Chains A and B, each alone.
Chain A
Amino acid sequence: MILEVHHITKRFGGLQALTDVSFGLKEGEILGLIGPNGAGKTTLFNVLNGVFPPNRGQVIFRGEDITGLPPYEVARRGIARAYQVVRPLNELTVRENVMVGACYGREALPLAQAARVADEVLATVGLAGRAEQLAGSLNVAQKKRLEMARALGSRPYLLLLDEVLAGLNPSEIAAMLDTIRAIREGGVTILMIEHVMQAVMSVSDRVIVLDYGQLIAEGSPEEVVNNPQVIEAYLGDPQMTARLMGE
């Protein structure tokens, strides 16, 4: 197990965002994380990479307890993240954005090497031609790719992807899925939150489902879509149900 999550509970004031969440992630696996809006998926990522500490529970990464470490310490240990809402460093170039990941991520590279890694990574996500451009000038799909590139630039062991497919058109989605598979081939373990159900189902080895902060199901993609509890969780939301059923 590269990542073990034990009994994580997270409250915001009176709101119970996560309740006793436990699961594990095997090395080299792609684990899908699904659940209705507001289920606590992004909050779980925030706890995993140290944005805020959990009220209870433990996060064990590569055998080390990383619960409550600040985000930059978590990043150095090899967990990288692509945000749901893109957060480009607007006044820096696309290359510099990726270099930040490379300079301060797991390998903590010096500038010159970081620039080389950045160019490699930008080529894999298809942004090579835009390296010199300011990140703020990219369009949404390109910014999504940049999020991914930045995370990859840090050469992580574990990649947390938060809805990287949202807002992309079908051909962009297909390209992104190829990129994700290629990343896994490169030995990176992936935990991905996704609403585009067919996409998660096609790329994940295993899927876990969060609903109101609780894990309600876990299994292969087929097992999960046919789980009555999962269907019920999504029934409150007709749009989500349609997605779950494969549109």
Chain B
Amino acid sequence: MRPWARLGFWLPLGAVFVWGLVVLLLREDTLRETTFTLMMFVGMASSLNILLGYTGYVSFGHIVFFGLGGYFGFYLLSQQGLWLLPAAVGGGILSGVLAGLLGLAVLRLRGAYFALATIGINEAARAFVSNFGPFGGATGLFVNFQAYQAYGGAGPALWTTFMYLWLVTLAVLLVSALVQGSRFGLGLMAIREDEDAAMVMGVAAPRAKTIAFMLSAFFPGIIGTLYFFKNGNVEPGDAFQLHMSIEALVMIMLGGQGTVVGPALGAVVYQGLRGYLLTSPLFKSLHLAMAGLFLLLIVLFVPAGAVGWLRHRFPRLRKVLT
């Protein structure tokens, strides 16, 4: 059966489509801002899931592709005068190519070694950008106010940015669902379960892993560009926050790794919880510790995540929750 013949294929796509449409129609600034953050994490978690959930490689460095790709896109936009969309795609391409090059080196590592290497990459990228002249070094880059005029002023520019983010989020979910239901995705899952056995069955693991890594890195580059454009500036401290990588992991594990809906659902639920915790002074300084504890509890007690648990508990839901 073709993947798009299933109801489950359309469920997350439909939900995000309607959600974004409603926000665009309501045209309320605060709603747009909260939705922007939520959708950004839906996109980040869903893209990381292509590597983590389907291929089984845990990366703590996903934010590098958001940071570096975003930096590059923002550079194209603010220094080279490119339009938002081509600049963002440029950021995505840079992230994808970077993942391809990195993949050749680090995807040979398995398990914990790979995970550790990805932390190293994050720190290296931050150090590099802080000292890289064209990217503004430690102070970063900013767009001057004039740039927004091209989009009809600051307000409309923010709505345009939101609309692009909405489309990118839909694209991530679409790619995720297509990969999951494809021959390529089956190869990735075979790698996740037992890489050596997969290779003996004919899966060209080095190439498949690299493509998965590139796909998972491409979208964060676009999202990063959109996010920094919305903020009007980018600096190293914003771009490479290790805790965002960890939070993306929590979202995936919470919702259900290796499913399409799981990471999206996990992102929304986690962001909701986080927003709640951040308003409480008691938890404000503890929220990362809570995220860590949360991750531990999930891994120990519900390793398949919420969607995985539901699929297991109620087999009938399998056609709906993919």
Contacts and interface: CB of A to CB of B under 8 A. Distances in A.
Nearest to A45: B200
Contacts of A213: none
A72 B186 contact: no
Given A90-B193, A91-B193, A92-B190, A100 B203 contact: yes
B189 interface: yes
Interface residue range, chain B: 20 to 34
Contact of A104 (B192, B202, B258): B202
Contacts of A105: 201-202
B194 interface: yes
- Secondary structure dominating the interface of B: helix
Contacts of B42: none
B182 interface: yes
A24 interface: no
Interface string A84-116: 000111111000100111011110101110100
Contacts of B199: 70-72, 75
A71 B196 CA distance: 9
Contacts of A104: 187, 190, 198, 201-204
Contacts of A212: none
A110 B197 contact: no
B183 interface: yes
B205 interface: yes
Contact of A99 (B186, B197, B258): B186
B194 to A, nearest CB: 5
Contact of A154 (B189, B193, B202): B202
Interface in B131-154: none
Interface residue range, chain A: 20 to 34
A114 B183 contact: yes
A89 B201 CA distance: 11
Contacts of B198: 89, 100, 104
Contacts of A99: 186
A89 B190 contact: yes
B183 A111 contact: yes
A92 B200 contact: no
Contacts of A150: 201
Contacts of B186: 92, 96, 99-100, 103, 111
Contact of A101 (B189, B193, B194, B201): B201
A72 B204 contact: yes
A83 B197 contact: yes
B202 A76 contact: yes
Nearest to A91: B193
Nearest to B192: A91
Contact of B202 (A51, A72, A88, A111): A72
A114 B202 CA distance: 14
Interface in B225-280: 258
Given A99-B186, A100-B187, A114-B183, A89 B200 contact: no
A110 B198 CA distance: 17
A49 interface: yes
Interface of B: 1, 182-183, 186-187, 189-190, 192-194, 196-205, 258
Interface of A: 49, 51, 70-73, 75-76, 80-81, 83, 87-92, 96, 99-101, 103-106, 108, 110-112, 114, 150, 154
9 contacts: A51-B196, A72-B202, A72-B204, A73-B204, A87-B194, A89-B190, A103-B183, A104-B187, A106-B202
Q: Shortest 8 CB-CB distances between A and B: which pairs? A: A104-B202, A75-B202, A89-B193, A87-B197, A71-B199, A100-B190, A72-B204, A71-B200
